[in-house]
Structure 1
């Protein structure tokens, strides 16, 4: 009963309701919340503390930044459903618009970086970890018979170059036109049919369950809302299909935010496993590659195949 009372008290304030609604859309820092809400950081921090103390929100430290995310208790879940049933008020509409502006600011910063480094991108990735070791593990983990392959954040098309020979068709997706021009030039004579599409990872121009193998190689740490990107990637994975994520393990190299436009300083197994599970996939395999300044992790998510009993 005490927990329920604390949650009701926490959600009784209109500003805290707005904060919860924003956090349910994406992880945000206190500064970003203040920007969206149009309030001072100290004031927003006080609201956040009440939500955290009540078990409605949770803090996650990442280097010098602290991100906030919903941490709904079993009591809070039906309350969220009740809030949703009430529809959006004018504050919710305005907050959503300002949140989109925060996302656009982040994406623009990343795009500037990519546009300025398109030709050197393969070399820049090599500075972090030996690509040859990572690629060997990727091939071993995925094996052959990749079917319909989709490479999200394809960059210069290296993953399609590496894995496309085992696929029946490959699609490369990237926001940067500079990257796609390089990829098209590199793979003009690829033995596997390949097409490239300019699109955002949050809105893939592909149908549900349209891919057998989806790859996100060194992409997730650039995305402002990685949980949403994984959810969208999982959407296109067909029954029995797989999603391979290759990225950095959690680290504290804060300078990568400014030097290399990293939005996230790596990920933990718990984070990736939780996001995959929430998207209907199971974390079926993990690999860790140490060496160099950062540790590279491979996470393999699988969508269960349709049960034979249901098909009969």
Structure 2
């Protein structure tokens, strides 16, 4: 009874209802909600605390920011669906429309910040891209490697600017994207579509300790990320841990090279990988090498490796032998 009282008490306030409506549209920071509803951040924080304590809203810290999303508790799914089915009164319709208009402005602010960041760092990224085959051809090879099977739950490790979310997100059932940088996560978040926010989860984390349970992901992608790992074999093993049976791990990175400036200037811990290295690390992590593809072009050669998680082997029980041992 108390849980129900807490739940309905949490929703029994106009501002808190507005917050829930906004979070149905997208994940938001407390300051962004304050901007939309036109109230002070401390006041919004008090409303958020009530929603969190009732289990309606989840909070997630990301650097110095705190982001909010609707609870993923399946028991609350029918409740959130009700928000889209009940016809609002004329007054409610007006404030919903006004809130959504201001929410569009928040989206525009995110996109503007992303554009500014891209402009500031364009020369750095262009310098690396000029050394290898075009990104379009790399992405086409990645799509080809994963074609023919469902993506399922996609885990994008080191999402950066969120390009893999854009590329594979429409085909995935849901997406978890991880990056160590709050700035990068804000850039990626600016690219999320606004129609299905519940499919996307952007989380600050490290590839050596993924914030996922065992066998939770169906497809894992490392796009130009593995060369930042001091111990790539450990990172691959951690990715394999979260893969479901028959789940796939796709790695796009460089073949061995001698561009020492990338280590010094761009913090590359590894100057590329050989097929033998990846195959050995796959095997140690319980992955089969499904395919590898070489994309030469320029001073750096891009490689695409695809591994598959071993299906758990069930050893059949010999009933006769078992009877003999227990007789």
Q: Same fold (TM over 0.5)?
A: yes
Question: What TM-score does the superposition give when structure 1 sets the normalisation length?
Answer: 0.59
The 3-state SS of whatever aligns with 1:155 is coil
Aligned mates of 1:162, 1:225 — CA distance in 2: 28
1:164 aligns with 2:169: yes
Q: Write the mapping of 1:245-260 to structure 2, written as runs, cut at 5 A.
A: 245-260=251-266
1:283 aligns with 2:289: yes
The 3-state SS of whatever aligns with 2:173 is strand
Q: Which residue does the alignment assign to 1:126? A: 129
Distance 1:240 1:183, change over 3 A: same
Q: How far is 1:127 from its partner?
A: 2.9
Q: Write the mapping of 1:285-304 to structure 2, written as runs, cut at 5 A.
A: 285-304=291-310
The 3-state SS of whatever aligns with 1:238 is strand
Q: Is the 8 A contact 1:149 1:170 kept in 2?
A: yes
Q: How far is 1:307 from its partner?
A: 5.2
Aligned mates of 1:173, 1:301 — CA distance in 2: 20
Aligned mates of 2:196, 2:127 — CA distance in 1: 27
Q: How far is 1:145 from its partner?
A: 1.4
Distance 1:118 1:246, change over 3 A: farther
Q: Which has the larger radius of gyration?
A: 2
Q: Write the mapping of 1:159-238 to structure 2, written as runs, cut at 5 A.
A: 159-189=164-194, 193-238=199-244
Q: How far is 1:304 from its partner?
A: 2.3
Aligned mates of 2:182, 2:261 — CA distance in 1: 27
Q: Is the 8 A contact 1:283 1:299 kept in 2?
A: yes
Aligned mates of 1:260, 1:204 — CA distance in 2: 24
Aligned mates of 2:274, 2:265 — CA distance in 1: 22
Q: How far is 1:298 from its partner?
A: 0.6
1:167-186: CA deviations, max 9, x gaps?
A: 10011000011100000011
How many residues get paired?
197
Q: Which moved more, 1:190-199 or 1:252-261?
A: 190-199
Q: Is the 8 A contact 1:122 1:156 kept in 2?
A: no
Any stretches of 5+ residues in structure 2 without a counterpart? 1-116, 318-327
Q: How far is 1:248 from its partner?
A: 0.2
Q: Write the mapping of 1:79-98 to structure 2, written as runs, cut at 5 A.
A: none
Q: How far is 1:189 from its partner?
A: 2.6
Q: How far is 1:282 from its partner?
A: 0.9
The 3-state SS of whatever aligns with 1:186 is coil
Aligned mates of 2:312, 2:189 — CA distance in 1: 36
Q: Is the 8 A contact 1:287 1:299 kept in 2?
A: yes
Aligned mates of 2:270, 2:160 — CA distance in 1: 19
Q: Write the mapping of 1:28-177 to structure 2, written as runs, cut at 5 A.
A: 120=122, 123=126, 126-129=129-132, 130-143=134-147, 144-177=149-182
Aligned mates of 1:119, 1:252 — CA distance in 2: 24
Distance 1:163 1:230, change over 3 A: same
Any stretches of 5+ residues in structure 1 without a counterpart? 1-114
1:110-130: CA deviations, max 9, x gaps?
A: xxxxx9998547645533431
Q: Which moved more, 1:210-219 or 1:141-150?
A: 141-150
Distance 1:190 1:224, change over 3 A: farther
Aligned mates of 1:132, 1:172 — CA distance in 2: 21
